[in-house]
Amino acid sequence: MKNFLKQYSFFVVFVILIMVLVEYLVRSKIVPAFIIPAPTSVASHIVEQWRPLILEHLKATMVEFSIGFIIAVTAGVALAVSMFFSKTIEKMLYPAVVISQMIPIIALSPIFVLWFGYSIWSKVAVTVLMSFFPIVVATYDGLKSCDKDYIELLRSMGANKRQIFSKLNIPMALPSFFSGLKIAIVYSLVGATIGEWLGASEGLGYYSRRMSGDLNASGVFASIVILTVVGIILFAIASLLEKRTLRWKNRL
Amino acid sequence: MTLILKNVTYTFPKKEIPVIAKLNLTVQQGEFVSLIGKSGTGKSTILKLITGLLQADEGEISINKKPVTLGDVGFMPQKDLLFPWRTILDNIMIGAEIKKEIKISKENARSWLKKVGLSDYEQAYPNQLSGGMRQRVAFLRTLLTEKEVLLLDEPFGALDSITKKEMQAWLLSIWQELDKTIVFITHDLEEACYLSDRIILLKEDRKIEETIVPLPRPRYQEMLHSQILVELRKELEKKI
């Protein structure tokens, strides 16, 4: 906790200053409330609307996020492992994975709506497309990063390929995998939100768009605040998981 | 466990000139042999050929008349290569994890850690250890593969001179206790003379020259300054 304060106290001060400034600008009518809402009105919007915001919209977004993220991690790790074992698969699919990131996802999303309609799967598809790439690249690079000397050491002991993979390649890949996981977990949430903008009947992305249509800036910011808090929590969970798994890194 | 290299030739892929040419070498059971020579004379390559990591183009390498394959000898590379995510105890147990026929119990491994003065560190991770400690762990890992023949590639090359002296004394004591055959690479001629029964000088013309070290066993650090060792070292320095 002491470290936490030391690390983030300046940041907290900065955020509070900004909020006070915004509050002042809005209250003194320098900036109209539909451009930037006063932090207090965002807060009261959240308090008043917490039921639909949390129970309905956040829940919907979290379901899309969870399905998409789990698919991305499972498929991403599977692809990374198959590319690691097969040069053919690597040559065939690695460029495709990279190119998939060059496609502007917003531009692709109408296609997903065409394919999956307004069902949950169009949002899941955007989520997967967003978070798949960091998982594949990080896992694959991690698996490949293994020092040849370590492999020779195990081979000299008579280890077979399977043992080298489980005792060496996997633990070696974990730090890189977790870096990818932390990026992917945040991207997934962004993906779910973007998916909802394009066509949905629930979810925080849908909610913020609806509020924007009503010129209700407090409503837009309320969903942004909730999404941000959730994003931070998800990132923190991933970091915690990383710290627990890579315990050896913290001991010095 | 006699280790025999017979007419061994090896050329690196895409190279014309062999790095090892028609090498003949016999190492007796329990013998301590050092390989010395300039960089590029193939010292490490010889060890890799003996481990089976590299395949000789010609010739045979055998231990007790059986051709060597991977997993037949204990190999300690130049870098300690400890697995940073494993505790010290788990690091030295890796050999037993890989080969089921190696029966090293945790108690057994612990008693070894105690012997090398690392019993307080069994649950520590490698990044908490000093260079000399890591080297001892790496040696134990090699030792606990329970092979008769141990190949040590410049194990003390990266250590400061005081730690190095300690490690040499420590290695000698362990070697004397267990009847292991050791092939040892070093750049340090004094170290080669002090530790070995026999020194093999690898020359740039791919020939070898053997020198028997006439010091008695057991050896003590005082011998480092003995007339015999100093003379021998001078002689080797000229030849190398």
In the beta sheet, which residues pair with residue B67? B62
pLDDT, one tens digit per residue, over B79-103 is: 999 999 999 999 999 999 999 888 8
**Within 10 A of B109 (CB to CB), how many other CB atoms are there?**
21
Give me the pLDDT at residue B127, please. Answer: 93
Structural contact between residues A15 and A8, judged by C-beta atoms closer than 8 angstroms: no
pLDDT confidence bin for A106, thresholds 50/70/90: confident
Q: Report the gap between the CA of A78 and the closest CA in chain B (Å).
A: 23
Contacts of B85 in chain A (CB under 8 A): 171, 174, 246, 248
pLDDT, one tens digit per residue, over B8-35 is: 999 999 999 999 999 999 999 999 999 9
Q: Which of A152, A159, A251 sits opposite B98 (nearest CB)?
A: A159
Residue type, B75: F
pLDDT confidence bin for A149, thresholds 50/70/90: very high
Mean pLDDT of A181-208: 93
The CATH number of the domain covering residues in B3-73+148-239: 3.40.50.300
Q: How many CB pairs under 8 A join A and B?
A: 61
Contacts of B142 in chain A (CB under 8 A): none
Contact B125 A246 (CB under 8 A): no
Q: Which of B72, B95, B125 sits opposite A248 (nearest CB)?
A: B125
| Nearest-angstrom CA–CA distance, B18 and B41 | 10
Which site among B81, B139, B149 would you substitute to test the A interface, given the most A Cβ atoms closer than 10 Å to its Cβ? B81
C-alpha B151: how far from chain center: 4
pLDDT, one tens digit per residue, over B156-173 is: 988 888 989 988 998 999
Sign of torsion over alpha carbons A50, A53, A56, A62: negative
Q: Which of B86, B98, B128 sits opposite A154 (nearest CB)?
A: B98
Give me the pLDDT at residue B81, please. Answer: 95
Mean pLDDT of B122-138: 93
Structural contact between residues B135 and B156, judged by C-beta atoms closer than 8 angstroms: yes
The token duo for B222 is 């005082």
In chain B, which residue's Cα lies nearest the Cα of A244?
B85
Give me the pLDDT at residue A94, please. Answer: 92
Give me the pLDDT at residue A118, please. Answer: 87
Contacts of B99 in chain A (CB under 8 A): 157-158
| Nearest-angstrom CA–CA distance, A80 and A84 | 6
Residue % of chain A over a pLDDT of 90: 79
Which site among A148, A152, A157, A169 would you substitute to test the B interface, given the most B Cβ atoms closer than 10 Å to its Cβ? A157
Contacts of B124 in chain A (CB under 8 A): 251
Which site among B94, B100, B151 would you substitute to test the A interface, given the most A Cβ atoms closer than 10 Å to its Cβ? B94
A 31-70 near B (Cβ less than 8 A): none
In order, the DSSP letters of B22-44 are EEEEEE-TT-EEEEEE-TTSSHH
Contacts of B70 in chain A (CB under 8 A): 155-158
Give me the pLDDT at residue A1, please. Answer: 66
A 97-136 near B (Cβ less than 8 A): none
Mean pLDDT of B68-77: 94
pLDDT, one tens digit per residue, over A13-23 is: 999 999 999 99
SS3 at position B222: helix
pLDDT, one tens digit per residue, over B186-222 is: 999 999 999 999 999 999 999 999 999 999 988 988 8
Residue % of chain B over a pLDDT of 90: 80
C-alpha A167: how far from chain center: 29
| Number of helical H runs and strand E runs in chain A | 13, 0
Give me the pLDDT at residue A109, please. Answer: 76
pLDDT confidence bin for A108, thresholds 50/70/90: confident
pLDDT, one tens digit per residue, over A115-128 is: 998 899 999 999 99
Give me the pLDDT at residue A251, please. Answer: 62
| Nearest-angstrom CA–CA distance, B25 and B74 | 18
pLDDT confidence bin for A100, thresholds 50/70/90: confident
Q: Report the gap between the CA of B193 and the closest CA in chain A (Å).
A: 28
| Nearest-angstrom CA–CA distance, B97 and B102 | 8
Q: Report the gap between the CA of A167 and the closest CA in chain B (Å).
A: 9
Contact B81 A163 (CB under 8 A): no
Contacts of B73 in chain A (CB under 8 A): 156
Q: Report the gap between the CA of B73 and the closest CA in chain A (Å).
A: 8
| Nearest-angstrom CA–CA distance, B77 and A155 | 12
In chain A, which residue's Cα lies nearest the Cα of B138?
A153
Q: Could you state, in order of their start, the residue ranges of all structural domains in chain B? A: 3-73+148-239, 82-146
Mean pLDDT of A238-243: 95
In the beta sheet, which residues pair with residue B234? none
pLDDT, one tens digit per residue, over B214-227 is: 999 889 888 989 99
Contacts of A158 in chain B (CB under 8 A): 69-72, 98-99
Domains, chain A: 39-244 (1.10.3720.10)
Q: How far apart are the first and last CA of chain A?
A: 20
Does the pLDDT value for residue A250 go beyond 80?
no
Contact B77 A168 (CB under 8 A): no
Q: Which of A150, A156, A251 sits opposite B53 (nearest CB)?
A: A156
Does the pLDDT value for residue A252 go beyond 70?
no
